[in-house]
Structure 1
Amino acid sequence: MNFTTKAALVCTTALLGTAAAAETMTIGITQNNVGVDSYQTTYEQSFIAAAEANPDVEVVVLDAGGDVARQIAQMEDLIQQEVDAIIIWPTNGEAVIPAVRKAFQAGIPVVVTNSNIAEAGFEFVSSFSGPDNITQGSRSAEIMCERFTALGIQGDARVVQISGQPGYTTAIERAKGFEDRLPEVCPNVTLVETQPGDWNREKSQQVMEAFLVKYDDIDGVYAGDDNMGVGALNAANAAGRTDGITFVGATNFAVGYEAMGRGEYWGSIYQSPVDDAEAALKTALDLLAGEELPFLNYFDTPKITQDNMGDYTKPVF
Structure 2
Amino acid sequence: MTPKMKTWIAGTTAMAGIALAGGALAQDDPVTIGITQNNVGVDSYQTTYEQAFVDAAAANPNVETVVLDAGGDVARQIAQIQDLIQQRVDAIIIWPTNGNAVVPAVRQAHQAGIPVVITNSNIAEEGMDFIAAFSGPDNITQGAYSAELMCEALAEEGQDPAEASGQIVQISGQPGYTTAIERQKGFEDRLAEACPGVEIMETQPGDWNREKSQRVMEAFLTKYDTIDGVYSGDDNMGVGALNAAKAAGRADEMAFIGATNFAVGYEAMERGEYYGSIYQSPVDDAEAALQTALDVLAGEDVPKLNYFETPKITQENMTEFSKPVF
TM-score strictly above 0.5: yes
Corresponding residue for residue 43 of structure 1: 49
Post-superposition CA distance 1:218-242 (Å, at most 9, x none): 0000000000000000000010001
SS of the aligned residue for 1:7 comes to coil
Give SS of 2:296's match: helix
Give 5+ residue unaligned stretches, structure 1: 1-5, 12-21
| 1:189-243 residue CA offsets vs partner (Å, 9 max, x unmatched) | 1011100000000000000000000000100000000000000000000100011
Structure 1 211/10 Cα, relative in aligned 2: closer, same or farther at 3 Å? closer
**3-state SS of paired residue (2:67):** strand
1:109-120 superposed matches below 5 A: 109-120=115-126
In 2, Cα distance between the equivalents of 1:280 and 1:118? 18
Letter in 1 for 2:117: V
In structure 2, the residue matched to 1:168 is: 177
Match of 1:253 among 262, 287, 291: 262
Q: 2:3 corresponds to which letter in structure 1?
A: A
Distance, in Å, in 2 between the alignment partners of 1:168 and 1:291 is 30
User: 1:8: how far off?
Assistant: 3.0
User: 1: distance between equivalents of 2:40 and 2:259?
Assistant: 19
Q: Which has the higher contact order (CA 8 A, sep 6+)?
A: 2
Which sits farther off after the overlay, 50-59 or 134-143? 50-59
Question: Does the 8 Å CA contact 2:85/2:112 hold for their aligned counterparts?
Answer: yes
Q: CA deviation at 1:155?
A: 4.4
What is residue 8 of structure 1 aligned with on the other side? 3
**What's 2:90 paired with?**
84
Secondary structure of 1:27's match?
strand
Amino acid at match of 1:69: A
Report the secondary structure of 1:210's partner residue. Answer: helix
Provide closer, same or farther for how the CA distance between residues 10 and 307 of structure 1 changes in structure 2, counting only shifts above 3 A. Answer: closer
The partner residue of 1:264 within 273, 291, 299 is 273
Aligned to 1:145: 151
Whether 2:304 is the aligned partner of 1:295: answer yes
Residue aligned with 2:192, SS? helix
| 1:97-112 mapped onto 2 (5 Å cutoff) | 97-112=103-118
Give unpaired runs (5+ residues) of structure 2: 7-27
- Which residue does 1:231 correspond to in 2? 240
TM-score, normalised to structure 1, is 0.94
Question: Matches of 1:48 and 1:93 in 2, distance apart?
Answer: 24
Cα deviations by residue, 1:42-99 (Å, 9 ceiling, x for unpaired):
0000000001111211100000000000000000000000000000000000000000
Q: CA RMSD in A?
A: 1.4
Which digits, 9 at most, give the CA deviation of each residue in 1:121-173, with x for residues without a partner?
A: 00001100000000000000001101212455954301100000000000000
Q: Which amino acid in the other structure matches residue 108 of structure 2?
A: K
Partner of 1:158: 167
Q: Which amino acid aligns with 1:231?
A: G
Q: For this pair of structures, how many residues does the alignment match? A: 303
Which amino acid in 2 is paired with 1:198? Answer: D
| Inter-CA distance 296–246: structure 2 relative to 1 (3 Å threshold) | same
User: What is the CA–CA distance in structure 2 between the aligned matches of 1:130 and 1:8, rounded to whole Å?
Assistant: 23
**1:234-281 Cα distance to aligned partner (Å, 9 max, x none):** 000010001120000000000000000000011000000000000000
